[in-house]
Chains A and B, each alone.
Chain A
Amino acid sequence: MREFIYVLFHTAAVFLVASALVFTAASVQSSDPARALAGPLAAEAQVAELRTQLGLDKPAPQQYLSWLRGIAAGSSGWSAFHHRPSADVVADLLPVSLVRIVLALIVGAGLGWLMAQRLFSGQPSFTIIGTAWLAIPVFSPAALALWLMSSGAHLTPMTTPLWFEGATVLIASLPASLLVAMTFGTRLHGVRQLSLTAQYLCYSRAPVAYSRRILLREAMPSAASAFSNAVIPTLSAVTICEVVFSLKGFGAAFVKASQVADVPLMVTGLSVVLAILAAVQFANQLISAKLLRRSSRVSY
């Protein structure tokens, strides 16, 4: 309960500060969002009407307070780019992206588990390669995949959307799998040493099965934490994949909203993502604590 209140309080504080910063920045920016939305050919009267309609003629603190009042009343503002309430846009597109993120994490965890068991053993060389791979820009694998598909298999996003959906999930799972694998790899190195000692001490009790049990119980809390840490890089990777492969989703819509400075959609999208991340963090804390309690009860 205490952790839940802490996460809730932390998220609320960060959300208030971030949204206030966004509104302040939006109010001091040199360009006019109403002009950008109306287009260069629109008459000044039309732009002024749009500005009043969007509430952009009010001072920034008033805009922010009315937006907060709207949030409290269940209304998140009007997305001028999509011509719909921003909450509706997020509600339509976020599930699509969330499915991709969850699939990528599942594929990533599977790949990570395999890599950790077969390849990684906490060796510095693997850690160096893994970190260097994790650091490279997330668009690189997506760009290379698009090239390979268009040049080798003559596929385009328009002709074979299902292929590209699959490719997106696979590419988006790469950072997740590496994070999971690296956390596992480091942890497994220690656990293997422990299991060797345990096998030596308890050789009469089916050592292989015993070491697997130790492996699972020791490595699982790390897995939960790696899974939670992998959410943010996977979200970025899915966003990039949606842009590169021209897929419909929250990430692509968020990039578009940022390009046209659609403030209500940006703030609503960011706050929903923040809430989801807070929930993931809280679930991770609960699961890790439970798994750690279980593993501490095992005697070697």
Chain B
Amino acid sequence: MSRIKGLAAVSALVILANVAADAWLKVPIDSRNVLQAPTFEALLGTDHLGRSLLLIIPRSTIATLADCIVVFSIAALLGLSAACASVFWLGRWQDRLVSALADGVRSFPAILVAMVFASLHIPVALVLAGIVWVPVWRAARAALAEQFARPFILRAQACGLGFSQVMLQEALPLAWPVILPSALGAMAECLSGLAVLEFLGFGRDLGSPGLGTLASQVVFLGGTAWWIWLPPTLLVCAIVAIFAGEAVAKTVKETK
């Protein structure tokens, strides 16, 4: 049931993102009401182009979440593929190579590296996915290796069941509860990373801003016009805190 709910939520988000992409053009620009504080006419105020933030903030949220799903999907795919490869060659040089690569990626200051690559016009989604796959790989590798050491899986392999069959039918479904918290943590990291990069000027621009782009207005406005950047900043914090809190709650539950 929860899988169906998740799938429905992702589909709804993708549809909304598509609708939002068109709707950016339909947000009316009003040069007479620039940087207007919240009033009854404009409930959340207006931005530097006179656009109503009541219209912009939901669109920015959807755009950021849609970007986040793209980054997370790439990172999860990379992490799970690398984990399968590591378990297949467990303890051999291929596994050690992936481990060294993961250690190398994590020993870098992620934001500085992401800025360097984003500045060279490499898509931000790819840059972030290249950093975020590590926690997914780490959790998946440990959980899958544990499953592959279980007697019934060893017996199934001895009876001639192939690695991929065992992986897809037995190991991955059993390891999923352990991988899920790390995946949620990675989702929080994706969202946080995207917001920070947008805040620093990499990613979406003010034409179709994400939440980080809106939050970055605090620098240009010197802390004034709070209605432009404060709600997006709090929104990012709330969404990230929900994902991260859920990840830790699941880990604690799993440990008990």
Determine if B87 is an interface residue (Cβ-Cβ < 8 Å): no
Nearest-CB distance from A217 to chain B (Å)? 27
Name the one of A17, A30, A157, A240 contacting B196, with C-beta atoms under 8 angstroms.
A240
Interface residues of B in 227-249 (CB under 8 A from A): 229-230, 233-234, 236-237, 240-241, 243-245, 247-249
Chain B interface, >50% SS class: helix
Chain A interface, >50% SS class: helix
Task: Decide yes or no: A143 and B218 within 8 Å by CB, A14-B108, A137-B195 being known contacts.
Answer: yes
Interface residues of B in 71-123 (CB under 8 A from A): 100, 103-104, 107-113, 115-122
Task: Decide yes or no: A10 and B104 within 8 Å by CB, A132-B244, A266-B119 being known contacts.
Answer: yes
Chain A residues within an 8 Å CB radius of B159: none
B245 touches A128 (CB 8 A): yes
B116 touches A143 (CB 8 A): no
Task: Decide yes or no: A270 and B121 within 8 Å by CB, A13-B104, A137-B240 being known contacts.
Answer: no
Give the residue name and chain of the B residue nearest to A28 (CB). B120
Interface residues of A in 140-190 (CB under 8 A from B): 140, 143-144, 146-151, 156-157
A270 touches B116 (CB 8 A): yes
13 A–B contacts, CB within 8 A, in A order = A22-B116, A25-B120, A127-B252, A133-B241, A136-B192, A136-B244, A137-B212, A140-B236, A149-B223, A236-B109, A243-B219, A246-B219, A255-B115
Determine if A135 is an interface residue (Cβ-Cβ < 8 Å): yes
A257 to B121, CA, bound (A): 14
Chain A residues within an 8 Å CB radius of B224: 150-151
Determine if A18 is an interface residue (Cβ-Cβ < 8 Å): yes
| Category for how many chain A residues contact B | 35 or more
Give how many A-B residue pairs fall within 8 Å (CB-CB).
159
Chain A: residues with CB nearer than 8 A to chain B? 10, 13-14, 17-18, 21-22, 25-26, 29-31, 124, 127-129, 131-140, 143-144, 146-151, 156-157, 232, 235-236, 239-240, 243-244, 246, 254-255, 257-261, 266-267, 269-270, 273-274, 277-278, 281
Nearest-CB distance from A80 to chain B (Å)? 14
B108 touches A146 (CB 8 A): no
A17 touches B104 (CB 8 A): yes
A142 to B226, CA, bound (A): 14
Nearest-CB distance from A264 to chain B (Å)? 12
B215 touches A258 (CB 8 A): no
Nearest-CB distance from B164 to chain A (Å)? 31
Give the residue name and chain of the A residue nearest to B217 (CB). A143
Give the residue name and chain of the B residue nearest to A156 (CB). B222
B226 touches A137 (CB 8 A): no
Of the listed residues A151, A255, A267, the one surrounded by the most CB atoms of chain B closer than 10 A to its CB is A255
